[in-house]
Amino acid sequence: MTTSTRRRRIAAAVATPLLAGALAVAPADASTPTEPAPGLQEVMLVGNNWDGTATVIESVGDFAQIGRINLIPDKKKRLTEIYLNPIRLAFFLGIRETVGEGNDQFVDDMYSTPDGSAIVVSRPSFADVASIDATTGKLNWRFKVDGYRADHMAVSPDGTEVAVSASTGNVVHVLDIMTGAEIGSFETGDKPHENVYSADGRHLWNMSIGEVNNDFDAPFLDFLKGDRKITVADTETFDVVRTIDMRDRLDAFGRKKTSDAVRPVAFTPDESTLYFQVSFFNGFYEYDVASDRITREKVLPENPATDDDRTTFVNDSRHHGMSMSPDGSKLCIAGTMDDYATVVDRETLQEGPLVPAAKPYWATVSGDGTACVISESEADQVTAIDFATGEKIVSVPVGNHPQRVRVAVLPAGWTSPTAG
């Protein structure tokens, strides 16, 4: 029996029963809190995109800062390679001036290995995935993605595999998280973005967002944004088993002028319903997986100070970031361009207090499941919001331009590496 097959059988034995006729999906950032293994501590990793570091904070309580780790210890070597290759240099500089807003993008997404020995990170400007030793800060391995930019990642339910979107290669790579060896890959729509594994590990969902770097943002120019769709792949064979074009579903719902570029998503604990954000929209949609249709729309408040000129939205995202409480009763929404975050009751879709935030760019769930943690990319801090009350708990300073925030494990008593 192969390692992959053994992993599937173990996962299948503990998986949540699947909805009849549906492809089940794991709740995004809403797993039941569990105690870390002996010798490990649970933490949160905050990826500081523009300075190439991860700030390590407590995963509960006051979310105090524990330390920081450099995720680009090989920066000099990577830059030398880039500057000696005219094509790579052109893309490197293009990333800086477009999605990077004048900055290099060094950290998009990151996860720890199951044993806490390393942090695996996608590095957009270097077009790679790298494993950094959590104790020494040194490079363990590096995988070069197709094309010239790496983006969002996801980790399999058992923690052994990591999927990464190669955003200019229009492919998702799946790697062994410990060795960096490629296990498989599949093709997607234009600019693959978010990835989500099914609860049993059998399927991987990818959402492609199309061309976010051009200014053809008016609804009548939408056809110039590329091929945007959800691609669902079998993780054993890496065959594509389903594609979902939200254009058809949005049209049927009466929203023909709404972008079909699916951004962050969240799934209910029973895996029957998908909530998703789309480009340019201040709100989100509810999609029934079994009936394959959009069932509700939630429009969230606009900030009067926000410029409605779509070309001013960062990478086409008006709102970017959502997570769900472990019991499935609340959604946490990052209102990126509107400078707030809010907790929404899932049954009524009524939003709570609008918590002021400086360009929040991600939302995740605390280690104990009681709080939503957002990254404030313009304030260089993360903020925790109570799911029960919708009120702010605390803000914690981090590094330059925080984006992805992930619960992780590191060795107990971990301190910042001095090397790297």
pLDDT digits (tens, 9 = 90+) for 53-97: 999 999 999 999 999 999 999 999 999 999 999 999 999 999 998
pLDDT digits (tens, 9 = 90+) for 251-261: 999 999 999 99
> Rounded to whole angstroms, what are the CA distances from 47 to 44, 53, 85, 224, 272?
10, 6, 28, 31, 31
All structural domains of the chain with their residue ranges: 3-11+32-411
Q: What is the pLDDT of residue 6?
A: 36
Asked if residue 40 lies in contact with residue 412, where contact means CB atoms within 8 angstroms, the answer is yes
pLDDT digits (tens, 9 = 90+) for 13-32: 333 333 333 344 444 454 45
Percent of the chain with pLDDT over 90: 83
Asked if residue 182 lies in contact with residue 173, where contact means CB atoms within 8 angstroms, the answer is yes
Cα distance between residue 149 and residue 106, in whole Å: 10
Mean confidence (pLDDT) of the chain: 91
323-361: b (≥16 Cβ within 10 Å) or e: bbbbebebbbbbbbbbbbbbbbebeebebbebbebebbb
Q: What is the pLDDT of residue 149?
A: 96
Domain 3-11+32-411 classified CATH 3.40.50.720?
A: no
pLDDT digits (tens, 9 = 90+) for 333-385: 999 999 999 999 999 999 999 999 999 999 999 999 999 999 999 999 999 99
Q: Would the pLDDT of 2 be above 90?
A: no
* Residue 214 pLDDT level (bands cut at 50, 70, 90): confident
Pairing of strands 330-335, 340-345: antiparallel
pLDDT digits (tens, 9 = 90+) for 149-172: 999 999 999 999 999 999 999 999
Calculate mean pLDDT across residues 298-312: 94
Q: What is the pLDDT of residue 35?
A: 80
Cα distance between residue 381 and residue 111, in whole Å: 19
Q: Would the pLDDT of 144 be above 70?
A: yes
* Residue 419 pLDDT level (bands cut at 50, 70, 90): low
Residue 88, phi then psi, degrees to nearest 5: -60, -35
Calculate mean pLDDT across residues 211-238: 92
Count the helices and strands in the chain (H runs, E runs). 4, 28
